Structure 1
Amino acid sequence: MDVMDFELLVDGVPAEAEAMVDGSAESLVVLRDGDAVRAWLNVCPHAGRRLDWAPGKFLLSKAGQLVCAAHGATFELQGGQCLAGPCRGEALRAVSVQVRDGKVVLAG
């Protein structure tokens, strides 16, 4: 995995970033809450479509869960597990990230 910096100015709200993952440019869903940061490929495990309804625009349920704009699958934001919808029991593909010098970077 290549290390690539991307700046995210979000707190507790999913955002989109693009990075090189396994040699390919991939869209990521990134959640940064202070120093805690998590990232997943921006791909629903149900049909392989992007989760966002427009680039970088994500749906959140009232409970704060990520909702796939294509088919309504609902994902918790701790580990990316699908809680409801057509891919229940599956999970988003995690991407290893960390905060370095105040920036979110891919862990390499």
Structure 2
Amino acid sequence: MPAAREDADEWAPLGPGGAVGEGEAKGFVLGDRGGPKVILVRRGGVLHAYLDACPHHGGTPMAWRTNAYLSGDGAHLCCHSHNALFDIETGKCVLGPCLGQSLTSVAIREEDGIVLARL
């Protein structure tokens, strides 16, 4: 899994951790200044975070409609533009045109029920 970028020292709010249930994925805009969109996905009680950008073609957004980030069976994150499937825990592409590439992970932590992220 690619390391989260460490070029920013500030943590910015994404949203409430409780807004993402088990087996769900949702997109949140980072911070209050219109930062990049981040996907939060919960699997096995653990939140994972990735930039909403497919590695196949210059960061194409993953969802075809709001919060449609999962494959039909819910087993993988999916780029619906390219039909690429990504492992939820690692972000690595397991099927599709970017096979072997990975989503960009985002460092997150939770404070008082709010998920904070740092790019």
- TM-score, scaled to structure 2: 0.77
- Bigger RCO (CA 8 Å, 6+ sep): 2
Alignment partners' CA distance in 1, 2:99 and 2:80 = 15
User: Could you tell me which residue of structure 2 aligns to residue 16 of structure 1?
Assistant: 27
RMSD across aligned positions (CA): 2.3
User: Could you tell me which residue of structure 2 aligns to residue 7 of structure 1?
Assistant: 16
Give how far 1:30 is off: 0.6
Give how far 1:36 is off: 2.2
Of residues 3-12 and 35-44 in structure 1, the stretch that sits farther from structure 2 once superposed is 3-12
Amino acid at match of 1:77: I
Query: Mind listing any 5+ residue stretches in structure 2 that lack a counterpart?
Result: 1-7
Alignment partners' CA distance in 2, 1:50 and 1:96 = 19
The number of residues matched between the two structures is 106
- TM-score, scaled to structure 1: 0.84
Give how far 1:59 is off: 3.4
Q: Once superposed, which parts of structure 1, at least 4 consecutive aligned residues long, lie more than 4 Å away? A: none
User: Could you tell me which residue of structure 2 aligns to residue 92 of structure 1?
Assistant: 103
Give the conservation status (yes or no) of the 8 Å contact 1:16–1:30.
yes
Alignment partners' CA distance in 2, 1:33 and 1:25 = 25
Give the conservation status (yes or no) of the 8 Å contact 1:60–1:67.
yes
Query: Mind listing any 5+ residue stretches in structure 1 that lack a counterpart?
Result: none
